[in-house]
Amino acid sequence: PVLRVAIMGLGGYGTRVADAMKTCQKAKLVGAISGTPEKLTRWQEKYGIPAENCYNYQTFDQIKNNKNIDVVYITTPNALHHDQVIRVAAAGKHVICEKPMALNAKEGQEMVDACKKAGVKLLVGYRMHFEPQTLEVIRLRKEGAFGKILFFQGQCGFTIGDPTQWRLNRELAGGGSLMDIGIYAINGARYMVGEEPIWVTAQETKTDPVKFKEGVDETIQFQLGFPSGAVASALSTYKMNNLDRFFVNGEKGFAEMQPSTGYGPIKGRTHLGELKAPHVTHQTRQMEEMAGIILEGKEPVVAVNGEEGVKDLKIIDAIYKAVKTGKKVPLNLI
């Protein structure tokens, strides 16, 4: 069977996913949801999507009556994910939602509950969970090649352009760099260390309060503590380029990756040598694997379900709280 996918939000990332799906064997783009009629016409031509599989934001609840669509992949701005996921679930379709899954853990949990109630699967677009170099480092960690893990460092950032974009609008983005790019260091700390953090400390730096308004973070540094005693240190920023680096250190060895989460080839090495897993188009691999999860009940190496998304949001909530209070914030993710 082939997973029949409709994409909601035909912007930059939606287009990237659509293009990547052209070479999928197990997933196929068959539908589109957009508020712009011209975009729907263009997508029908470009991707061979039938008109009856196209919807707008007023009509998409009718997808309930469409037997030719299995899942809706939501690639709209962050603040819209919560209501859209709940509406898709109510229409009885599985959902793939982009990261960050929602603006906070409370919203995320409501989405998980709605999907559970509707009996549909909810997956979050964590493409690194299927990336071969990443999986190789996780495999080495699990087999004990690094020994006891002591430290993780994650540096995630880029210089953001256009000040009018939704990513710099608190209502649509729910925050700033942390929601968008810092989440990779949060998620990465968890899958690299292999534990759930029990406390957070965090500090914010803002050099441009005009571009980065109240509630939109420019740069945040945060630290996580794990039950084993391992610690993580991370930087999330919209103010620096060439910042895409993971480092994990254990008693017996280490791994360093740069780039660690960008779209291009992920590169890196461990104390044993260079990482040599094949390079893949992340979104193609992700959709192949997600087809297996949704249609065949396959279990990924690193979870990509709604609960996984909520854990990252609990950490994000705690980081913002730590920034605000200047205090260490305890976490309970289990």
Site string for ligand NAD, 176-205 (x = CB under 6 A): ----x-------------------------
Q: Which is nearer to ligand NAD, 98 or 217 (CB)?
A: 98
The 275-314 contact track toward ligand NAD, x by CB under 6 A, reads: ----------------------------------------
- The binder of ligand NAD chosen from 94, 99, 141, 314 (CB under 6 A): 99
Query: 211 to 270, contacts with ligand NAD by CB under 6 A?
Result: none
Binding of ligand NAD by 35 (CB under 6 A): yes
Any contact of residue 166 with ligand NAD (CB under 6 A)?
yes
Q: Which stretch binds ligand NAD (CB under 6 A): 8-16, 156-164, 227-235, 302-310?
A: 8-16
Please report, as a single letter, which amino acid is at residue 39.
K
151 is a contact residue toward ligand NAD (CB under 6 A): no
DSSP for 139-191? HHHHTTTT-SEEEEEEEEE-----TTSGGG-HHHHSSSHIIIIIHHHHHHHHH
10 or 189: whose CB is closer to ligand NAD?
A: 10
Q: Which stretch binds ligand NAD (CB under 6 A): 4-12, 22-30, 44-52, 240-248?
A: 4-12
- The pair of structure tokens assigned to 314 is 């609990």
- 99 is an active site residue: yes
Pick from 53, 75, 219, 284 the residue near ligand NAD by CB under 6 A: 75
Q: Are 104 and 173 in contact (CB under 8 A)?
A: no
| List 20, 32, 55, 78, residue binding ligand NAD (CB under 6 A) | 78
Asked whether position 87 contacts ligand NAD by CB under 6 A, the answer is: no
Residue indicated by tokens 């709940």? 86
Give 260-264's long-range contacts (Cβ < 8 A, gap of 24+): 260/134, 260/154, 260/184, 260/188, 261/128, 261/156, 261/184, 261/188, 263/16
**Per-residue H/E/C for 82-145:** HHHHHHHHHCCCEEEECCCCCCCHHHHHHHHHHHHHHCCCEEECCHHHHCHHHHHHHHHHHCCC
Contact with ligand NAD (CB under 6 A) among 77, 194, 253, 292: 77
The CA distance from 248 to 56, in Å, is 44
**Token couple for 223:** 């630290």
Distances (CA, A) of 213 to 208, 222, 230: 8, 20, 34
Map the footprint of ligand NAD across residues 118-137, applying CB under 6 A. Answer: 125, 127
- Is 314 labeled as catalytic in the residue annotation? no
Could you say which of 47, 55, 99, 311 is catalytic? 99
In the complex, least distance from residue 148 CB atom to ligand NAD, rounded to whole angstroms: 31
Binding site for ligand NAD (CB under 6 A): 9-14, 35, 75-78, 80, 98-99, 125, 127, 166, 172, 180
- Which residues are part of the catalytic machinery? 99, 184
